[in-house]
Amino acid sequence: MTRHELVEHIRKKKTYLCVGLDSDIEKLPRHLLRLDDAQFEFNKQIIDATLDHCVGYKINTAFYESQGVKGWQSLEKTISYIPSSHFTIADAKRGDIGNTSAQYAKAFFETMNFDAITVAPYMGEDSISPFLDYEGKWTIVLGLTSNPGSADFEMIVSENTYLFEKVLKKTSGWGNPDKLMFVIGATKHEMVRNIRMAYPDHFFLVPGVGAQGGSLSEISASGMNSDCGLLVNASRAVIFSSQGENFASAARLSARKYHEEMKVFLDRYAKVK
C-alpha cells in the first residue's frame, strides 16, 4: 500500500485506528473453541465487526507461533481474509544478518502479502535494508517502545542523545517516509512532541493505548502531523472487550469509541479534511 492510499483511507474514514489481533487462544470466547480453527474464526468475526472503524490490522505473530503449524495456518488465513483496503502489519520484530533478513522479508512480503513488518534495529543496517528493498512495502523500525524494559537500553544516553534517537536518525537515512515508519510507544507521550519535531513526515505506529495505559488524547496532541502521521494500535482493549458470545459486537463498540474520539482529534490536531 502506498502512503497516498493510506492517508486517503484515514482522511475518508476519519480514523487512524489499527486493531491488534493478539488473539491469544487462552482468552478466546469458550464457544469458539469447539471449532476447527478457533483463532481464525475469532479473527474473522473481529475483522468483520471492526472494519468500518479502523484503517489497519496488526497481527502479532507470537500468538500464532505458540500454536505451532496450526497457528501459522490461522495466521495465513487471517492475512488472506483482511480486505486490501486495510493496511496490514506483521508485528514480528524480526532482524538478523542480511541474507537471513532477506528470508524474513520474503516470508512476510511475498509468501504472505503483508503491507508492513516491525523490525528490531540492534543488528544495524544490513539487518534492516532487505525489508526496505521492497517497493510498496513498509518497514516499521522499533524506536521508543511502550514497555517498562524500554528504559534499559533505548534510553541509554551518549552525546546528549538517547539510543532510540540514534536509531531514528540512522535508520531514517536508509529509507524515506514513504516506506519507513517508527514504533513510538503511547506510554511515552511526553517525549513524542520532540520526536515529531525531529521527524515531521514519518508515520509512527503507536502501541500501548488501552491495556498498557497510554492516552489516545495525549499521543494525538503530541504526535499528529498534517497527514495524521499516526497509526494507533489497540489490541486487548478492542478484541477482548467481551469474552462472551457477544465478543464481536463488543469489539465493534470499542473500535467505534476509538473512532469517535479520533474524529475529534483529527479535526483538532491535523489538517485532515
CB of 5 to its own copies, least distance (A): 26
Near its own copies by CB under 8 A, which window of 45-53, 65-73, 188-196, 226-234? 65-73
**End-to-end Cα separation, the chain, in angstroms:** 21
What is the grid cell recorded at 136? Answer: 510498496
User: Residues in contact with its own copies, total (CB under 8 A)?
Assistant: 60
The pattern of x and - marking residues 152 through 181 that bind its own copies according to CB under 8 A reads xxx-xxxx---x--xx--x-----------
Residue 225 has which C-alpha cell? 502531523
How far lies 157's CA from each of 140, 145, 153, 209, 238, in Å? 23, 16, 9, 26, 36
Least Å distance between CB 131 and its own copies?
A: 12
| Closest C-alpha among 205, 222, 234 to residue 139 | 205
Which CB sits closer to its own copies, 8 or 65? 65
Is 93 an annotated catalytic residue?
Answer: yes
Q: Which CB, 163 or 195, lies closer to its own copies?
A: 163
Q: Which residues have C-beta within 8 Å of that of residue 91, sequence separation ≥ 6? A: 20, 58, 59, 60, 61, 118
Site for its own copies in 90-129 (CB under 8 A): 91, 93-98, 100-101, 103-104, 106-108, 110-112, 120-128
Q: How far apart are CA 119 and CA 43, in angstroms?
A: 24
Rounded CA-CA distance 97/137 in Å is 20
The CA-based angle 156-173-144, given to 5 degrees, is: 35
| Among residues 80, 84, 85, 147, the one that binds its own copies under rule CB under 8 A | 147
Sketch the per residue contact string, 123 through 142, with its own copies: x for CB under 8 A, - otherwise. xxxxxx-------------x
3-state SS, residue 182: strand
Q: Which amino acid is at 33?
A: L
Nearer to its own copies, 60 or 220 (CB): 60
Q: Which is catalytic among the residues 93, 166, 170, 257?
A: 93
- Residues binding its own copies (CB under 8 A): 22, 24, 60, 62-63, 65-69, 72-73, 76, 91, 93-98, 100-101, 103-104, 106-108, 110-112, 120-128, 142, 145-154, 156-159, 163, 166-167, 170, 207, 212
Residue numbers annotated as active site: 93
